[in-house]
Amino acid sequence: MVRDNPILEVKNLKKYFATPKGMLHAVDDVSFTIDQGKTLGIVGESGCGKSTTGRAILRLIEPTSGEIFFDQQNIRRLNKRDLRIIRQKMQIIFQDPFSSLDPRQSIFATIEEPLKLHKNDMTKNQRRERVHELMDLVGLAARLEKAYPHELDGGRRQRVGIARALASDPEFILCDEPVSALDVSIQAQILNLLSKLQEQLGLTYIFVTHNLSVVNHFSDDILVMYLGRQFEKAPAEELFSNPMHPYTEALLSAIPVPDIHHVMNRIILKGEITSPINPKSICRFANRCQYAFDRCRNEEPKLSEITPKHFVACFRCEGKSY
Amino acid sequence: MNNELNNILDVKQKQQNIIEVKDLCVEYITMEGVIKAVNTLNIALGYGKTLGLVGETGAGKTTTGLSILRLVQDPQGKIRSGSIFFEGQDLLKLSEKEMEEYRGSQISMIFQDPMTSLNPVMSVEEQIAEVIERHQGLNNENSIERAKNMLDLVGIPSERGREYPHQFSGGMKQRVVIAIALACNPQLLIADEPTTALDVTIQAQVLEMIRVLREKYGTSMIMITHDLGIVAEVCDEVSVVYAGHVIEHGTLEDVFDHDLHPYTQGLFESLPNMKDRKIKLKPIPGLMPDPTNLPLGCPFSPRCNYVMDLCMEKKPERVFRNENHYVECHLYKSDTPVESKVRING
């Protein structure tokens, strides 16, 4: 195992979509690294580019520019064949277990498919054994192998999605809102399963979610995105105890806390997210920010390291730089 | 600030409940069998108060809300028995025509998904005005005027009234839905997961707005949600619903600090702890029972860590911890003082 090098490195990733109204900046200059066996949480609200970032890394969406290194291989330079090989190592779990499984394939066939695709030296019997192993690993009873997705509840369907992702022995899994469609009691089951698998198999995760309490529980580092930009990046504990960007501050204060003794200190943001189409080069949060001053409306702050490992893109923090 | 509210409340008989649902049973008849969505459910709500109806998917929360408005889909859905008293009047005894006078005027509902609850081919001000015209007998011009005021009230510039739903963001659409629901100043507002489809900063805006409006008009509210954080923030009392039945009820303090039912405890422990991220989640094992084939005894018994033989044979009865707080669980006996058996540290 290589420990010194990060397993995944993303440099200046951009994804723009051409729309009739102009260029939509979905992901605008995002860079980060993840060490093996760690979890990076990407948080933000609808339209901040968190899912697009994840998908661009897997080249499920072709990035506009930027570099992605996985195990020191530049993913963007790979041809189709090599990409298919490396995708064995990079898998994805989708948000909606109701629409990400083929309704006409049994659970067995669903989990077997990636084995047929990626492990063509396996015999039929070996595949059967491996499917059962995987089902056991994610906590699916063997009797369910003949069932179809519609016969399963959301939690079990998500387990099928996880088993399928694990089939090709990945090193990295992109979890795109994996528990958002599930009830809290089931959500906890799936989160615990994902941490168990990470420990057992040494997996590296990117955890894309809008749910801040989930991301806090689950991540080593957290990246906060807003309108395609990275606003703040820090180790989870640091980010939650010492949020520096006004947006992060508002986002954290907006979480309803299930404790009646919790003293609410809520920052209610004015207005709504501005359009991501042809954004001006000013702070993208300036119109909602309670601290915004002239400079914020004239130039765009860059992400800079304010304290060790804590990066913020905000003019207010610049003076605090160490 | 509260003078106005108190005046409104004084006029009503304070001791009486605005709404009382008694032993409500609702079924859906499907190809797979009879789904028992709501099973002898009881809730009550005092004037000006907010009740949180908490539970997971399929617990029967929305069906309860729809039953109060008598909007349960017929012919599949049937209110089998029970009564729903609104200001002393049993709504289930009213004719359809009489019921129409209540809907949207005295009782309103905000639905979960603002994307599908608005009419895409009507401007938003017309949609608000429609309710006002129907229930308050104003002419078109005056009701549009009122609709514009409503838009201002929910924080949308009234100039935007002529626009159509697709021109608004999710949070704005939900504000329009709230404007429609509040247009006739209803006495009871049923909010069914009103912020679930919204982002957290927008959710904070909408919850704040609901709070301000309720304070202003003294509206009573039933908040249907699965989010205990929202309950802690907006509700006075909580009813925890499981398999169509209230298994624990009490004030916020009762339920949050002295939770008695193993299911209530399970809900709390399934949530990631914001203060200590190292605490391991304790999911509730298993799944909700099949609503076409509910357990004979306690509906939670197949998932319960404290299950005893008795739980599988007999439905538990209500045991009171104080005059307001009750639980239905065999762990507790009515002849001994009730102290939580599921909570180790308060």
Consecutive H or E run containing B133: helix B124-136
Task: Report the chain B residue with the minimal C-alpha distance to residue A192.
Answer: B281
Q: Does B212 touch chain A (CB under 8 A)?
A: no
Residue A1 banded pLDDT, cuts 50, 70, 90: very low
CA dihedral for A177, A180, A182, A184, sign (positive or negative): positive
Q: Mean pLDDT across chain A, nearest whole number?
A: 92
Interchain proximity B229–A256, CB inside 8 Å: yes
pLDDT of res. A133: 96
Residues of B in contact with A184 (CB under 8 A): 56, 226, 267, 270-271
Residues of A in contact with B205 (CB under 8 A): 268-269
B154 near B179, Cβ under 8 Å? yes
Residue A106 pLDDT > 60, yes or no? Answer: yes
pLDDT of res. B2: 54
Residues of A in contact with B283 (CB under 8 A): 185-189, 192
* DSSP state for residue A172 in the 8-state scheme: E
Residue A128 pLDDT > 90, yes or no? Answer: yes
Interchain proximity A184–B56, CB inside 8 Å: yes
Residue range B3-28: average pLDDT? 76
Maximum distance among all alpha carbons in chain A? 68
Residue range A145-163: average pLDDT? 93
Residue B11 banded pLDDT, cuts 50, 70, 90: low
Residue A321 pLDDT > 80, yes or no? Answer: no
Interchain proximity A258–B229, CB inside 8 Å: yes
Q: List, as ranges, residues 174-203 from A with C-beta within 8 Å of B.
A: 183-189, 191-192
Residue A2 pLDDT > 50, yes or no? Answer: no
Nearest CB neighbour to A251, from listed B200, B285, B287: B200
Residues of B in contact with A269 (CB under 8 A): 201, 204-205
Interchain proximity A216–B57, CB inside 8 Å: no
Residues of B in contact with A250 (CB under 8 A): 201
Q: Does B236 touch chain A (CB under 8 A)?
A: no
Within 8 A by CB and 6+ apart from A201, the residues are A166
pLDDT of res. A99: 83
Query: Distance between CA atoms of B202 and B210, rounded to whole angstroms?
Result: 12
Task: Report the chain B residue with the minimal C-alpha distance to residue A241.
Answer: B275
User: A159: distance to nearest CA of chain B, Å?
Assistant: 14
Q: Quick one: how far is CA A28 from the chain centroid?
A: 16
Residue range B319-332: average pLDDT? 95
A&B contacts, CB < 8 Å: 112
pLDDT of res. A4: 60
Residue range B214-242: average pLDDT? 94
Give the pLDDT confidence of A6-32 residue by residue, as tens digits.
Answer: 999 999 999 999 999 999 999 999 999
A207 near A218, Cβ under 8 Å? yes
Residue B32 banded pLDDT, cuts 50, 70, 90: confident
Within 8 A by CB and 6+ apart from B251, the residues are B236, B237, B238, B324, B325
Interchain proximity B232–A185, CB inside 8 Å: no
Which site among A95, A98, A152, A185 would you substitute to test the B interface, given the most B Cβ atoms closer than 10 Å to its Cβ?
A: A185
pLDDT of res. A24: 94
What 3-state class would DSSP assign to A302?
coil
Interchain proximity A260–B252, CB inside 8 Å: yes
Interchain proximity B272–A217, CB inside 8 Å: yes
Residue predicted with more confidence, A273 or A214: A214
Task: Report the chain B residue with the minimal C-alpha distance to residue A247.
Answer: B201
Residue B246 banded pLDDT, cuts 50, 70, 90: very high
Task: Report the chain B residue with the minimal C-alpha distance to residue A216.
Answer: B277
Q: Does A88 touch chain B (CB under 8 A)?
A: no
Q: Does B31 touch chain A (CB under 8 A)?
A: no
pLDDT of res. A158: 94
pLDDT of res. B31: 87
Residue B9 pLDDT > 80, yes or no? Answer: no
In DSSP notation, B202-234 reads HHHHHHHHHHHHHHHHT-EEEEEES-HHHHHHH
Query: Distance between CA atoms of A224 and A221, rounded to whole angstroms?
Result: 10
A34 near A40, Cβ under 8 Å? yes
How many angstroms separate the first and last alpha carbons of chain A?
34
Residue B169 pLDDT > 90, yes or no? Answer: no
pLDDT of res. B6: 59
Interchain proximity A153–B280, CB inside 8 Å: no
pLDDT of res. B14: 54
Give the pLDDT confidence of A72-104 residue by residue, as tens digits.
Answer: 999 999 999 999 999 999 999 998 777 889 999
Residue B13 pLDDT > 60, yes or no? Answer: no
Residues of A in contact with B233 (CB under 8 A): 256-257, 264
Residue range A214-229: average pLDDT? 93
Residue range A99-117: average pLDDT? 94
Residue A193 pLDDT > 70, yes or no? Answer: yes
Q: Does A264 touch chain B (CB under 8 A)?
A: yes
Interchain proximity B272–A153, CB inside 8 Å: no
Other CB atoms within 10 A of residue A121 CB: 5
Residue range A113-138: average pLDDT? 94
Q: Which of B26, B9, B29 is nearest to B18 (CA)?
A: B9
Give the pLDDT confidence of B144-163 residue by residue, as tens digits.
Answer: 999 999 998 888 889 999 99
Give the pLDDT confidence of B260-312 residue by residue, as tens digits.
Answer: 999 999 999 998 887 777 788 888 988 888 888 999 999 999 999 999 999 99
Residues of B in contact with A262 (CB under 8 A): 232
Nearest CB neighbour to B270, from listed A184, A236, A254: A184
Residues of A in contact with B256 (CB under 8 A): 258-260
Which site among B61, B176, B271, B303 would you substitute to test the A interface, given the most A Cβ atoms closer than 10 Å to its Cβ?
A: B271
Residue range B188-211: average pLDDT? 89
Task: Report the chain A residue with the minimal C-alpha distance to residue B264.
Answer: A185
If you average pLDDT over each of A209-213, B134-138, B187-191, which comes out highest?
Answer: B187-191
Residue range A267-285: average pLDDT? 88
User: A143: distance to nearest CA of chain B, Å?
Assistant: 16
User: B270: distance to nearest CA of chain A, Å?
Assistant: 5
Residue B177 pLDDT > 80, yes or no? Answer: yes
Residue A5 pLDDT > 90, yes or no? Answer: no
What 3-state class would DSSP assign to A299?
coil
pLDDT of res. B345: 45
Give the pLDDT confidence of B94-119 residue by residue, as tens digits.
Answer: 999 999 999 989 999 998 888 788 99
Task: Report the chain A residue with the minimal C-alpha distance to residue B303.
Answer: A185
Nearest CB neighbour to B232, from listed A45, A216, A258: A258
Give the pLDDT confidence of A284-312 residue by residue, as tens digits.
Answer: 999 999 999 999 999 999 999 999 999 99
Interchain proximity A185–B267, CB inside 8 Å: yes
pTM recorded for the entire structure:
0.87
Cis amide leading into B75 (omega within 30): yes
User: A175: distance to nearest CA of chain B, Å?
Assistant: 17
Task: Report the chain A residue with the minimal C-alpha distance to residue B284.
Answer: A185
Which amino acid is present at A311?
F
Which amino acid is present at B53?
L
Q: What is the ipTM of this complex?
A: 0.83
Query: Distance between CA atoms of B186 and B197, rounded to whole angstroms?
Result: 24
